[in-house]
Structure 1
């Protein structure tokens, strides 16, 4: 997806048996997309993704600048902080969960470089202690006006168990390194919307052939690109979890389906007139083999042992169960159970 124009520029469908396992599918899809862009002389300035190590190494090897999506980072961090706030001696952290969440987004969007993001992020450790002057010259003090707090209990006490645990979560080496690479350009919210749209065209409760899956995904791309930049209106929503607090929520206008008319026009005006070039283009698409075809199906003799015996209780008596396989009709091997009553 080209984030500035909010358009899908390329789509690749990867089947797990092409790359050995599911964990390599995302990397292979990204590799194919980058190859398509490079073959069309479209240089990549930077890529915004989540923080998967496999993708990090791949982009690093190709010398492509990578930024992390803020929402994915904030989501993972909020889960850890919420769990921490529920532990003993850390109840004071519940008052800071939403503020820390907001600080993540503010750190990313208000900064233009990695060191600036780190300086603003690490200042949070001082802020929760009611300290608003910092040692880092890049961000020497908080930008908000300093006010005398009437309730000192809302701040985290220095040296307390809650502070030590919070500090380990907020400023450990991994988190600080991720904060430095948070995207201050664009985010992947539109891409997440595209993924949700896929579920409408390609439901997960069914198994589709490769070509049908690919055609459905192309329809998703056409629908998304046509409606990506619809007009947005805002409505007021009341948050029940925050004691009636209200927020404005963006709502897009109804989608259009003009791409359907274009497809119908293409079929009747061009495909039916001369289908040869379209058939040749279709045949040029490599179709991987079915995943089930690579699995060896065991025979009935391998699936079930010839004789399986056990004991069951019938009332107060023990009865032997003997399961036997007997010849059947037309090569079918039925199974039946013989009850051997005790003498």
Structure 2
């Protein structure tokens, strides 16, 4: 088990966990051969477990994510840990399984996954005749969902009223939204409004006011999101996903991520905090400001393995053989030989 899980098992076994879970597949969802599922403690940002699932272990590639979640939760429960809340995407099989098999776990939805889906639908709508104005509002409506989750204080009814208000807001109607949220909170705005009653307005309403989306808005996670898990997946890509050593590299990625997730923000010579402007792919050319963190650190063994991977040394086979044994006989064996000294390898 990872160091974060060891710490929880040491003295906080009775503390219910608030977890974030997400899957990563080696290829497109319907053609994937391997998939991994990782569970993170949302209070500390530590990856507690990551499970590797092969497609032939389940009925189809679509069931890889659910199987990974089952294995991860089973692993935590076997170590006496109680799960109070689980933050995931809106995977239908996962939702049904949690609802029927784990009714004591409260499931919430990650805002980023939901808003990304809304943005894609609105961009598709904007390509229809007479709906070009929808494209001008796609990003704002997506951002409004994030604002809704962050400002509703966990009140599901308030979240629904704040969210549905955007269907009137785009038509320059800013009052009469509901008893809990009667009017918009912004000041004077100069925007290209959508004509009330137009096809564009009806298409926006069809997306924003869909019954399934409104039900999901009630389950949005207000405080924590799974963005750190996306960062962890980027670390996994660094270590590679070759099938032969996928399991061991997932473990290495979790160790490296846990070691560096709490890095402080870097400072300039005058002690001012450092920031950078980045252009993430999902922003479609938009810019975001992010803090610059201190340089990554590597544990003694982790550093050695990373160097061998990056340089392609043949002696990596010795390490992979040892780590693959852990994938066969369990993580307890892995962490028992993790403390050994491997300097005798060339």
TM surpasses 0.5 = yes
1:98 to 1:213, Cα distance in 2 relative to 1, 3 A: closer
| 1:98 aligns to 2:136 (yes or no) | no
1:9 is matched with 48
1:49 is matched with 88
| 1:169 aligns to 2:219 (yes or no) | no
| 1:221 aligns to 2:254 (yes or no) | yes
Q: CA deviation at 1:251?
A: 2.6
1:150 to 1:181, Cα distance in 2 relative to 1, 3 A: closer
Corresponding residue to 1:88 among 117, 129, 145: 129
1:136 to 1:95, Cα distance in 2 relative to 1, 3 A: same
Corresponding residue to 1:186 among 224, 241, 244: 224
Listed as ranges, the matches of 1:130-279 within 5 Å are 130-145=172-187, 147=188, 154-203=192-241, 206-208=242-244, 212-233=245-266, 234-237=274-277, 247-260=288-301
Any conservation in 2 of the 1:226–1:259 contact (CA below 8 Å)?
Answer: no
3-state DSSP of counterpart to 2:165: helix
3-state DSSP of counterpart to 2:51: coil
Q: TM-score, normalised by structure 2?
A: 0.68
Structure 2: tracts of 5 or more residues without a match: 1-39, 267-273, 306-322, 332-346
Structure 1 outlier segments of 4+, above 6 Å: 238-242, 261-264, 278-283
Listed as ranges, the matches of 1:31-46 within 5 Å are 31-46=70-85
Q: CA deviation at 1:237?
A: 2.6
Any conservation in 1 of the 2:126–2:134 contact (CA below 8 Å)?
Answer: yes
Structure 1 CA distance for aligned equivalents of residues 186 and 175 of structure 2: 11
1:261 to 1:281, Cα distance in 2 relative to 1, 3 A: closer
Q: CA deviation at 1:5?
A: 0.3
1:221 to 1:133, Cα distance in 2 relative to 1, 3 A: same
Any conservation in 1 of the 2:87–2:221 contact (CA below 8 Å)?
Answer: yes
1:283 to 1:102, Cα distance in 2 relative to 1, 3 A: closer
1:223-276: CA deviation from partner (whole Å, max 9, x where unpaired)? 01101111235434387999x987522232211002527999xxxxxxxxxxxx
1:178-206: CA deviation from partner (whole Å, max 9, x where unpaired)? 22211112111111111121111123xx4
Q: CA deviation at 1:16?
A: 2.0
Structure 2 CA distance for aligned equivalents of residues 18 and 247 of structure 1: 41
Q: CA deviation at 1:56?
A: 0.3
Q: CA deviation at 1:279?
A: 12
Structure 1 CA distance for aligned equivalents of residues 258 and 221 of structure 2: 23
1:247 to 1:26, Cα distance in 2 relative to 1, 3 A: closer
1:79 to 1:36, Cα distance in 2 relative to 1, 3 A: same
Q: TM-score, normalised by structure 1?
A: 0.69
Structure 1 CA distance for aligned equivalents of residues 216 and 110 of structure 2: 10
Any conservation in 1 of the 2:115–2:143 contact (CA below 8 Å)?
Answer: no
2:10 is matched with none
Structure 2 CA distance for aligned equivalents of residues 5 and 82 of structure 1: 36
Q: CA deviation at 1:31?
A: 1.0
Structure 1 CA distance for aligned equivalents of residues 233 and 287 of structure 2: 28
1:132-162: CA deviation from partner (whole Å, max 9, x where unpaired)? 11242111111223x3x667xx211211111
Structure 1 CA distance for aligned equivalents of residues 41 and 179 of structure 2: 36
